C-alpha cells in the first residue's frame, strides 16, 4: 500500500527557536507554530480555534532559521509528520505527533525575504516603471546549490 507524508503549515512562532547540536555536530532547531482556524457556527457565531504544533529542523537550514526567526514571526513550513513515543520515569507512556520541517519561507513584512531548501526566497518585488533602463542587480546566490525555484510555466495545472 502506498503512503504519502507531507505537511504544509503557515502560522506564527509560539516561542523563540532553540538551537542545539547532535553528538555528530548536526544543527537541530526546535520551535512551535500556532495556526488558527476561523469559521461561523450553525448558530451564526464566529468561532476560532488554535492548533499548536511542535516542529524541528536539521542542518544548515536550522542555523538560518534560528538566526532570523523569533517568537511571533509568521512562517510557512513544509515537512513531514513524525510520531514519538516514550515512557516517563514514573512509568507513564507518552506520545506526541510533531513536524520535521524540510523547507521554510519567511512570510510577511520586515526582515529579508529568504527561505530554506530548494524553493528558497520569494519572487522579487515589482519595480515601478521608469523612463530609463533599470539598473542591473546581481543574481541571487543559492547557498544550498539546488535548482532554481520553479516558474509559472513549470506548474502542470
For each of the domains in the chain, give its residue range(s) and CATH number, in order of start: 1-109 (2.40.50.140)
* Measured distance between the N- and C-terminal CA atoms of the chain, rounded to whole angstroms: 27
Give per-residue burial for 29-48: e unless 16+ CB within 10 Å, then b: bbbbbeeeeeeeeeeeeeee
Rounded Cα distance, 75 and 31, in Å: 11
Give per-residue burial for 98-129: e unless 16+ CB within 10 Å, then b: bbbbbbbbbbeeeeebebbbebbbeeeeeeee
pLDDT at residue 132 in the model: 40
pLDDT at residue 140 in the model: 44
pLDDT tens digits for 55-78? 999 999 999 999 999 999 999 999
Task: Read off the pLDDT band of 1 (50, 70, 90).
Answer: confident
Amino acid at each position: 500500500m502506498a503512503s504519502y507524508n507531507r505537511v504544509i503549515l503557515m502560522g506564527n512562532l509560539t516561542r523563540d527557536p532553540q538551537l542545539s547540536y547532535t553528538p555528530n555536530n548536526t544543527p537541530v532547531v526546535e520551535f512551535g507554530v500556532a495556526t488558527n482556524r476561523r469559521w461561523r457556527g450553525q448558530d451564526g457565531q464566529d468561532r476560532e480555534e488554535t492548533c499548536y504544533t511542535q516542529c524541528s529542523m536539521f542542518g544548515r537550514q536550522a542555523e538560518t532559521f534560528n538566526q532570523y526567526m523569533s517568537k511571533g514571526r509568521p512562517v510557512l513550513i513544509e515537512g513531514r509528520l513524525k510520531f514519538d513515543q516514550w515512557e516517563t520515569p514514573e512509568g507513564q507512556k507518552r506520545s506526541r505527533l510533531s513536524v520535521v520541517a524540510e523547507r521554510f519561507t519567511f512570510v510577511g513584512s520586515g526582515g529579508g525575504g529568504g527561505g530554506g531548501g530548494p524553493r528558497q526566497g520569494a519572487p522579487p518585488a515589482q519595480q515601478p516603471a521608469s523612463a530609463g533602463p533599470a539598473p542591473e542587480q546581481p543574481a541571487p546566490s543559492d547557498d544550498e546549490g539546488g535548482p532554481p525555484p520553479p516558474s509559472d510555466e513549470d506548474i502542470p495545472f
